[in-house]
Chains A and B, each alone.
Chain A
Amino acid sequence: MAREKIHVGLEIGTTKVCAVVAECRRDGEVRLLGVGESPSRGVRKGEIVDFQNASNCVHDALSDAEERSDHEIKSVWLAVTGSHIESSNHRRSVTIEGGGEITEKEIEDIASKDKEVSLPKDNDILHSILQQYYVDGREGVIDPIGIGGSKLEADYHIIHGVVNRIQSTIRCVRKIGIDVEDVVVNSVASAHTILDDQKKASGVVVIDIGGGVTDYIVYENGAVRQSGVIAIGGDHITNDLCIGLRIPITRAEKLKIEEGSAILENLSGTEKITLKNDTGFSGKEIDRSMLNLIIHSRLHELFGILRNRIQEVVPIHLLGSGIILTGGCSLIKGVREVAESVFEVPVHFAHAQSITGPTSAFDNPQLSTCIGLVKYAHAVDADAPQESFLNRFISSITRKLHLI
């Protein structure tokens, strides 16, 4: 019987806190045991602004997850996001000593050069992801061990963030007595849920539009080319509706979920939506065209910004697997059409890959980050030699974060 390990993924989102408990089997299968959720308070744009409230929500979500999965949670893998998270690509090199054959030592040497990356002084590296090796300038080397040469180079994708801001998220979890195994950036976690190797190889963008922020990650030739966070999310749509239609924020949120659509075509122009009166709100009629236009403008702009950013590193039309949308906001009607009109490549919605368990969770894009955390944890556990060192390093960074 294979040793089975249970991992917990926790995401403190702007809209809700969500915890996923899953069992990771040796054969690569991940079985979902339970999902705990709690509406989020005290989080804005993916970062904690009200510590006490947020901590309570984390507690609620975790106890919910414990109850449903029948598993006592001791430690979690934590997703982090926020506008402070940035990324960049770096190339580094080592000269090969002695006989000219590349050994594990050179690989370790080159991986340990993270310290040499110059970062803003408050920042620290969260992920250092290998893109590719070059041996004597020859590119596209996947496994250089055993190859002869005099110089080994490697491209790395570095994701870094402001230490203090990441710590406050970690502290929020540790405060209630739960250990944090490691922090993973949202987009990296989502990609683990959604992408398989084939998609990564052909080129793909994952866009996770959450409540407070939008995370994105770009893969090309199997490697991360770019990633980032834009602090725009569903909250902005709600806020736009609140201002544009002059309705209370709670009503705007409800309207967005129930009626929200970004489709501008085939509208009669006269269609009205009646908002029933509610406590403190005396009912109102709203133009459907107005509602759709406000949502459309926001999404159109967001995708425009993403397009410009992605195009800096790779032409979008070369991404064979197109764009994959996930996150709560991808549930808004017409979001795909808007994305297709901006990116001009096929746009799909995310499906969780190779995971079993209560089925309702698979297709819920709101859970893709959490499930991704578990899969990430599973990948770290798995004995992948060239990755293990990297992850050891990442966790050493995280431990450092805890200790500061």
Chain B
Amino acid sequence: MITYPRYLARQSEPQSLLIGLGNAGINIMDRLISQAGFPMESLAINTDQQSISNTLASKKISMGQMTTHGLGTGGDPEIGLDAAKESAGEIQRAIAGANIIFICAGLGGGTGSGAAPLLAEMAKQNGSLVIAVVTSPFSFEGRRRSQQAAASLRDITRFADAILHFENDRMSELIEPHAEVRETFAICDNLLFRSISSLNRIVTSTGPIPVSVPDMLTVLRHSDDSCLFGCGEANGENRGHHALESALRSPLLDRGRLLHDAGRLLVHISGPPSLSMEEVSEIMREISNNLSPSAMLNLGVSATHDHSSPLTVAIIGRCGAAKRTSVPAKVTPDLAALTQSQPTVPPASKPEQIEAPFFEMPVAHTAHPPEKAPAPKVLQPLLPLDPVTRGRFDKIEPTIVEGQDLDVPTFLRMKLKK
């Protein structure tokens, strides 16, 4: 049985604090703060004096004045760590009193990778619930940065209660190949922003069906590399379906494919007062259709008082494959490699198959499908749950019966179920 620190039960009004660490972290934080009505306290921590002075955060710490002279770390995590050690006292004072701390950082550089583990440790010692939201660098940024990110992530895992880890490589799949660089980073930031705000919404919202912090932690605990996350929002007609569709499109869900592997899933639906039970059940039906039958599902529903707010669906999950948490460092790289390599090699990318139909199934085999491959892979990609496959029905109201989008060709959906 998992026990939870008493503060979670004692405190009725959670005090959340968002820490932006390093340039990337601060960028994301600024984006969050600039949203109207953002409810959290914010704290910017950086070694680079300039970025500190521009941030919107209410509290700022320019750490490691002695170590870096306010000029940044130059990409060296050692310096980042030293700087954090130097300013440990200041940081400690700043985080005291917060009981939920979001640490937002881009790993791979100096400040983020170096200071994040120490920050997580301090936050933990402070008795807070620590949720780390981190990105790892693009592979084209070089091996060194990837290694620094991986090492740092490993250390953070030891202290953080929950980690949402976004791989920039995967996120860039969302983006068109010709997108501008600025746009690419903006989209990545935006995903992080959405994840933090939905986590915060989940923790703080009260609604007809609230999600307790322990519920969320069970889903996120030790979720390291195989964390599943998707968030989507929509307005207007059919908003439930569209919100879910865009949530599934999240790269961390691998376009919905990874839902099959989810062992535990937390779904949070929030919306304007007009949010109807039918919309909730429609969304849940669609999700459970894609889930494995053994998966645990937690549902949270909340309604805001704002009539103009969109309907939001957030999906947070953890892969079902039970992993030995005692040696996470050994397991994660393999999984990381697996998850990373799969999406880049989608099933149709074999050159000779490009012209072939989506699937080839000899008629004689329909009654009893071909023998299963000898070694079933955990993350064997299925056909993508891509909205593109709706073809000419893309723009019009979907036909949803028994939770299935029937505009997607039947044969594709049948294939998906296998």
Residues of A participating in the B interface, judged by any CB pair closer than 8 Å: 44-45, 49, 83, 230-232, 235-236, 238-240, 242-246, 249, 264, 267, 269, 287, 289-290, 292-294, 297-298, 300-301, 305, 308
Contacts and interface: CB of A to CB of B under 8 A. Distances in A.
Nearest to B364: A269
Contact of B357 (A44, A245, A267, A305): A245
Interface stretch (B141-149, B171-179, B391-399): B391-399
Contact of A240 (B360, B396, B399, B409): B409
Contacts of A83: 397, 399
22 contacts: A44-B393, A45-B396, A45-B397, A230-B399, A230-B406, A231-B397, A231-B399, A236-B409, A238-B392, A239-B392, A239-B393, A242-B392, A244-B411, A249-B392, A267-B363, A290-B360, A293-B366, A294-B411, A297-B410, A298-B410, A301-B410, A305-B401
Contacts of B393: 44-45, 235-236, 239
Interface string B398-415: 010110001101111010
Which 5 A-B pairs give the minimum distances between C-beta atoms? Answer: A240-B409, A231-B399, A297-B410, A289-B363, A239-B391
A276 to B, nearest CB: 18
A292 B389 contact: no
B370 interface: no
A294 B362 contact: no
Contacts of B397: 45, 83, 231
A293 B363 contact: yes
B409 A244 contact: yes
B331 interface: no
A243 B412 contact: yes
Given A269-B362, A269-B364, A289-B363, A240 B411 contact: yes
Contacts of A235: 392-393
Contacts of A294: 409-411
A242 B357 contact: no
Interface of A is mostly: helix
A92 to B, nearest CB: 25
A239 B361 CA distance: 19
Contacts of A49: 396
Interface residues of B, number: 26
A293 B396 contact: no
A94 B360 CA distance: 62
Nearest to B390: A239
Contact of A289 (B362, B389, B401, B412): B362
B358 interface: yes
B411 A269 contact: no
Contacts of A305: 401-402
Contacts of B399: 45, 83, 230-232
B355 A246 contact: yes
A287 B357 CA distance: 10
B407 A236 contact: yes
Nearest to A286: B357
Interface string B351-392: 000010110111110100000000000000000000001111
A290 B393 CA distance: 22
Nearest to B356: A246
Nearest to A84: B397
A311 B366 CA distance: 26
A243 B391 contact: yes
A358 B414 CA distance: 44
A292 B411 CA distance: 11
Contacts of B412: 243-244
A108 B255 CA distance: 57
A298 B409 contact: yes
B409 A239 contact: yes
A294 B410 CA distance: 8
A188 to B, nearest CB: 21
A292 B363 CA distance: 9
A293 B361 contact: yes
Nearest to B415: A297
Contacts of B392: 235, 238-239, 242, 249
A122 to B, nearest CB: 12
A83 B364 CA distance: 36
A290 B409 contact: no
A328 B402 CA distance: 25
B359 to A, nearest CB: 8
A289 B364 CA distance: 9
